Amino acid sequence: MMYSQQEYDMVRRQTIQMEAEKRAVLRLALIVATALLAVTLFLSGILYRRSSVAESVKKLAESKAAIAEDKYQRASRELAEKTAILDRQAGIQLKQSETITRTIPRLISKTAGDAELAELAHALYQQPGHSTSLPDIPPDEAMRKFRLRAGNRMNTYQLIAGETDGRWMLYSFLVRSQLAK
């Protein structure tokens, strides 16, 4: 069988057309792949930037949390120290109040000894205002100086009574404080 020139030309044109279509499809695939690669690189850059920002925010938050924890620990220690001081002072105040309430009736009835009056003078001096009210007129012999050892110091207190607005008040003044020998 013999083929004519026209048939050869037609086969050649069909072959060229198929090859052109193949190249067009490959060109389109290459364009799509290039576009996808570009979009992928762009998105990868955005994701990397967001993750690095998130990492820096995380590190900043962790450092702030560590600082806050340190401040919390410090504040807790200070609170515990202050609470201990307040509890100790409350105990001292309670003891002083007991001394005052126990000794005032004995002072008025003139049965208090010098040691009790010295403790009363010390307790009154530790109170705010260095004074307390009295139920009645105190005896004159109790209004004098008393010595009391407080720690390593020898303190001398002066008790003074006075009437203020119709109420008798007892005041305690620290006259002298020196290191005990």
**What are the residue boundaries of the structural domains of the chain, listed by start?**
77-179
In degrees, rounded to 5, the angle at the alpha carbon of residue 163 between the alpha carbons of residues 144 and 124 is: 50
Task: Please tell me the predicted confidence (pLDDT) of residue 180.
Answer: 65
Task: Please tell me the predicted confidence (pLDDT) of residue 92.
Answer: 85
For the stretch 154-181, pLDDT in tens is: 888 888 888 888 888 888 888 888 886 6
Task: Please tell me the predicted confidence (pLDDT) of residue 32.
Answer: 97
| CA separation for the pair 166, 161 (Å, rounded) | 13
Class of residue 157 by CB neighbours under 10 A (exposed 0-12, middle 13-18, buried 19+): buried
Task: Please tell me the predicted confidence (pLDDT) of residue 82.
Answer: 96
For the stretch 47-76, pLDDT in tens is: 999 999 999 999 999 999 999 999 999 999
Q: Confidence class of residue 125 from pLDDT cuts 50, 70 and 90?
A: confident
Which range is least confidently modeled, 8-22, 78-92, 104-118? 104-118
Task: Please tell me the predicted confidence (pLDDT) of residue 93.
Answer: 86
For the stretch 114-124, pLDDT in tens is: 888 888 888 88
| CA separation for the pair 124, 130 (Å, rounded) | 5
Dihedral angle computed from the Cα positions of residues 90, 105, 159 and 110, in that order, rounded to the nearest 10 degrees: -150
| CA separation for the pair 157, 165 (Å, rounded) | 25
DSSP codes, 34-67 = HHHHHHHHHHHHHHHHHHHHHHHHHHHHHHHHHH
The residue-averaged pLDDT of 91-104 equals 86
- Say if pTM beats, i.e. exceeds, 0.95: no
For the stretch 3-56, pLDDT in tens is: 788 888 898 999 999 999 999 999 999 999 999 999 999 999 999 999 999 999
For the stretch 139-154, pLDDT in tens is: 877 787 888 887 788 8
Task: Please tell me the predicted confidence (pLDDT) of residue 49.
Answer: 94
